[in-house]
Amino acid sequence: MDVVARSLIIFGLVIVLVGVLLLLAPHVPLLGKLPGDISVKRNGFSFSFPLTTMIVLSLLLTLIANVVLRLLNR
């Protein structure tokens, strides 16, 4: 039962952390404007593909997931 309780607590904390990050994301100055992010603006059309931002966020989330999983396997 201890493992289930710890897992639920950590899962809840992760959800809260993701929620806080989503609230603060519009205030991060470089988010979506890193070198390598693709943005096209034409007459009545705009397209944005934040490639570099997605790679950086993926690496960050992978690091966080590895830390959480290592804490669960203790």
Is 56 in contact with 45 (CB distance < 8 Å)?
no
* Tens digit of each residue's pLDDT (9 = 90 or more) over 44-74: 999 999 999 899 989 998 998 899 889 888 7
Confidence at 26, pLDDT banded by 50, 70, 90: confident
Rounded to two decimals, what is the model's pTM? 0.62
